[in-house]
Amino acid sequence: MAVTANLGYPRLGAKRELKWALEGYWSGKLGAVDLLKTGKELRLAHWRVQQEAGIDIIPSN
């Protein structure tokens, strides 16, 4: 049986959500909690995409 893996996954998000959140944080429009929440949501969404694609070994760090 073949095992699938990948070496990483883009962190920014499909619509560059992490970039916009970081720039919002730098400009003072978003707080640290909002920035961390965006990162957490993106990590979860990216993990799910890989899981649903059938990837067996998903990088976590």
CA within 13 Å, CB half, 58: 16
3 near 57, Cβ under 8 Å? yes
- Which pLDDT score, from 0 to 100, does residue 28 have? 98
Sequence spans of domains, the chain:
17-52
Q: Give the bridge partners for 57, in sequence order.
A: 5
Q: Dump pLDDT digits (tens) for 21-44.
A: 999 999 999 999 999 999 999 999
Q: What percentage of the chain has pLDDT greater than the value 70?
A: 98
* CB 45, CB 4: distance < 8 Å: no
- What is the pTM (predicted TM-score) of this model? 0.83
